[in-house]
Amino acid sequence: MGTSLSTVLWQLTYRAVVRSAFATVPFYREHWALDGRTDPVLVPGRTGRHGGAVDAATVLARRADLVPLAGGEAVVDPLRGLGAVLRRVEPLRTGTLVAVFGADSAPVDLPRGVRGWAVRPDDDVDAVLAQARGPVVAVGPDKQLQLLPDRPHLRRVPLRELDELDRGPHGLLVHPVLGVLAGLADCGRWHVDRTALYLRETDAGLAGTVLRQRSPRLVDTLLGDERVRLSACPRHRGPVLTPGLAR
């Protein structure tokens, strides 16, 4: 990823999150104290497995221990960061309605003037779309988006999983623990929102850290697909996810 100033700041932010998690979050305290970690090593001599990263299933099972000692929520949002990534890949003008299928609640990080709607199974979607005065961005699984009626101001943004990195031309990449990882930009590459997410190589593949979420704290969660690689976009410079060869 190089050594540009933004990359160095990205790494410093990540290290601060790691140290804070070790000092205040029971799961990371116990895991890294007893087993260890790398980059940084927190207890001399203890380097752990996978550099201290853990798989998503373990993180979900231990979510009560992801709350810092100061308290907070233990609910993992599978669409965390949706608003921030979506605005990078879709123009969200004032008056746009963002309809999210499969979410428990509407996204909270949309730009001012953009409304969010968590579509429930029994909602009358056709009626809502017909009444919408501005553009509508529908976000959700491909199957549900294909059922939507064609309308002039409706854009569909499918949610993709890590094994669908080669699909396009639009989309948001999601992970069950880390939420929205990346968005497919106009360059055709999956751009990571580095203000909110840090990614790191381990011997079990990439591990992600949510940088700005106080609780539940999510640090070094394995993406679960060892083929996915982190590189730099030659056009935009930012970090991008690319499908790699199997190890």
Partner 1 sequence: MNTKPMNTKPMSTDLDVEVLDPRHDPEPAYWAALRARAGLRADWAWDMLGTSAWLARLPLLVAVLHRAGAPVGVATGTYSGLPYHPKRFVPVRGGPLVGVWHVRAPASSALPGWWLDDGLTVRDVLRCRPAIGRGCAGVLLRQVGPEDLAVLPARARLVRPTEPTWTLPVHDVGDVTEWIGGLRRKRRAHLRATWRETNDDQRIVVDVATASTTDPAEVAHLLRHNENKYHGRFSPLPTAAGYLGALMRRDDVLTVTYRDRDTSALLAVGVTLDHPRWPMPRYWSMLPVERGGVRNAYFHHLTVLVDWAIGNGKQGLLLGKGKSEVKESLGAVPTEQSAVLVVR
Site of interaction with partner 1 (CB under 8 A): 22-24, 26-27, 29-31, 33-34, 42-43, 61-65, 67-70, 74
DSSP one-letter code for 176 = T
- Tell the smallest beta-carbon distance from residue 22 to partner 1 (Å): 8
Q: Among residues 35 and 225, whose Cβ is nearest to partner 1?
A: 35
CA distances from 85 to 38, 128, 174 (A): 29, 24, 11
Q: Among residues 23 and 108, whose Cβ is nearest to partner 1?
A: 23
Q: Which two tokens stand for residue 181?
A: 């990882």
Q: Among residues 68 and 141, whose Cβ is nearest to partner 1?
A: 68
- Tell the smallest beta-carbon distance from residue 69 to partner 1 (Å): 4
Torsion 237-239-240-243 (CA) sign: positive
- Tell the smallest beta-carbon distance from residue 17 to partner 1 (Å): 15
- Tell the smallest beta-carbon distance from residue 42 to partner 1 (Å): 7
Q: Are the CB atoms for 170 and 158 separated by under 8 Å?
A: yes
State the Cα–Cα distance between residues 194 and 207, nearest whole angstrom: 14
Q: Among residues 34 and 108, whose Cβ is nearest to partner 1?
A: 34
- Tell the smallest beta-carbon distance from residue 14 to partner 1 (Å): 19
Burial of 68 (0-12, 13-18, 19+ CB in 10 A): middle
Q: Among residues 63 and 229, whose Cβ is nearest to partner 1?
A: 63
